Amino acid sequence: MDLSKELKVAISTGKVEIGYKVSLKALNRKKAKLIVMASNTPENLSSRIKQVAGTEVPLYIFPGSSWDLGGVCGKPYPVTTIAIIDPGESSILQLKEG
């Protein structure tokens, strides 16, 4: 699966929350179906996301930096966390199975 392509499709056709704070809110409200986190997310942020996600919400570590993840999202700034609320036409939720 091409993660970058699937993320772009999810962003354009589904509902995603981009950023640490809104992702945390989505987790607290039990709306997130998948969390994508940059590999260089600071430890204090990643441990908080992991704690709130627990075993209910799958967590996928993006194999690039937060700048790379921001670029995939079409943002000119670093993005540490993305919460997938609705995948739209993408098959990104298959990441949680494999």
* Contacts for 68 with CB less than 8 Å, ≥ 6 apart: 38, 62
Position 98 scores a pLDDT of: 44
pLDDT by 10s per residue, the chain, length 98: 788 899 999 999 999 999 999 999 999 999 999 999 999 999 999 999 999 999 999 999 999 999 999 999 999 999 999 999 999 999 999 876 54
Position 14 scores a pLDDT of: 95
State whether CATH 3.40.190.290 applies to domain 3-96. no
Position 97 scores a pLDDT of: 53
Q: Where are the domains of the chain?
A: 3-96
Strands of the chain (E only): list them. Answer: 15-18, 34-38, 59-62, 81-86
Position 38 scores a pLDDT of: 96
Q: Do 27 and 51 touch, CB atoms closer than 8 A? A: no
Position 95 scores a pLDDT of: 76
